[in-house]
Amino acid sequence: MNILILGSGGREHAITWKLAQSSRPLKLFVAPGNPGTAEVAVSLPVDPLDFPGVREAILANRIGMVVVGPEAPLAEGITDFIEGDPALAGVAVIGPRRAGAMLEGSKDFAKGFMKRHGIPTAAYETFTSGTAGEAVSFMRRMKPPYVLKADGLAAGKGVLIINDFDEAVTELKAMLGGRFGAAGSKVVIEEYLQGIEMSAFVITDGISYRILPEAKDYKRIGDGDTGKNTGGMGAVSPVPFATASFLEKVEKQIIKPTVDGLKQEGIDYRGFIFFGLMNVEGDPYVIEYNARLGDPETEVIMPRIGSDLYDLLEGVAQRDLASRQVIIRPETAVTVMIVSGGYPDSYGKGFPVSGTGNVSESTLFHAGTGIKDGLLVTSGGRVLAVTSLGPEMQEALARSYRSVGKISFSGMNYRRDIGFDLKKYLE
Ligand code: AMP
Ligand code: GLY
């Protein structure tokens, strides 16, 4: 089977790395890929949003399965595009069609879906520029902080949490006035949930589902969860406060009703579902859905899957996932993201990265790297995800931080405290 993975980050490297360990005869291609994926797969210079280019790559390389990494091609309908083309008949796509990707692509759709299926989430209402006055009255009845969410995809910047009422009204008006373009033409205003966050992941063939390891990520740039939001500075799996009884609630109250709800609404969803959850005094609430795996969560999920990932993907393609098993390894996996100086604001690129060859205790998943004059150089904000396994979190973290210490480039930055808030649950 020839498989094409779409994307170029640490998530796609981790998926490709895991598929490369399959016992099945697979030939792996990544578009566009990066120097890390190039160690285990063939890179194809195609942008995942260039659908005709993806089509050519599928035909030229006799691809039988496409695994979609990021959300943008899903929201743009890559799955509908491939499934609708007679020349591509029989090509399986791991990733939902546009209708299913709406779980991520429209906050208003996701909230309505949860309401229809009794899935616990923060109370909310949706407003447009025509109902801005009602939005202000709604906020007046709420307690701060105010949570404002642009309806559409806004590159992770569409959620504002504001304490001051007047500031929230100003921001709301800016959103409805076009600050996030069309993504903000509708705004969801919701109740603030106080708790600790984590994420759950499933793979589904539209009939049944298999639960993958859960994870916690660290979104802020600074130690102690301070400073600006980033794509993610590190992750840990398993999550120590996600006890068996909590995870049972997640499955019963959230995962199962979501998969059943999709079926009931005639949405044939085949791919991954990422549940962003808030643990509020032991009860799970959905903060958001994503129609894909997380980055850097995938970099800790993949090493914890003990079984063959291809077996699960084949279960989705053949719609017999119910007969496939996921074996989850008991060790803890952590990842520490090494980022460019200045990230998440502007940063330089093209700095030579040294020391990666000296890393022996960790796996390096490439996120934003390139090759220049034969040398590994930085090419993005997030550069390398340094993943380690250990019998428990502290040992895994010690391994990753020793590995980080061997790597250097001009301006390199990383968080020193991944897992800091989880230690109290491990005592
Ligand atoms: P999202 O883009 O939906 O993941 O939101 C970004 C972040 O905002 C989440 O990871 C949470 O930390 C926070 N957040 C979103 N919604 C809420 C809420 N209702 N209550 C508290 N925090 C929230
Ligand atoms: N790490 C969060 C995300 O992938 O959306």
Domain spans, the chain = 2-95, 124-190, 196-422
Locate the ligand 1 atom nearest the alpha carbon of residue 287 and give its number: 16
Give per-residue pLDDT as tens, 115-142.
999 999 999 999 988 888 888 999 999 9
CATH number 3.40.50.20 given to 2-95:
yes
Pocket test for ligand 2, best of 107, 157, 197, 295 (most atoms within 8 A of CB): 295
232 lines ligand 2 (CB under 6 A): yes
Q: Which residues pair with 66 in a beta bridge?
A: 4, 93
Locate the ligand 2 atom nearest the alpha carbon of residue 231 and give its number: 1
Structure confidence at residue 185 (pLDDT): 82
Structure confidence at residue 130 (pLDDT): 85
Q: What span, in angstroms and rounded, lies between the C-alpha atoms of 220 and 100?
A: 29
Minimum CA distance residue for ligand 1 atom 18:
192
Structure confidence at residue 152 (pLDDT): 86
Pocket test for ligand 2, best of 290, 292, 335, 418 (most atoms within 8 A of CB): 290
How far does residue 55's CA lie from ligand 2's centre (Å)? 27
Whole-number CA gyration radius for the chain: 21
Locate the ligand 1 atom nearest the alpha carbon of residue 107 and give its number: 3
Of the candidate CATH numbers 3.30.200.20, 3.40.1260.10, 3.30.1490.20, 3.40.50.720, the domain formed by 124-190 belongs to 3.30.1490.20
How far does residue 311's CA lie from ligand 1's centre (Å)? 34
How far does residue 30's CA lie from ligand 2's centre (Å)? 20
Structure confidence at residue 71 (pLDDT): 95
Low-confidence ranges of the chain (pLDDT < 50): none
Which homologous superfamily is 196-422 in?
Answer: ATP-grasp fold, B domain (3.30.470.20)
| Identical topology for domains 2-95 and 196-422 | no
Structure confidence at residue 179 (pLDDT): 79
Minimum CA distance residue for ligand 2 atom 2:
294
297 lines ligand 2 (CB under 6 A): yes
Residues with CB under 6 A from ligand 1: 122, 147, 159, 161, 190, 192-193, 197, 276, 287-288
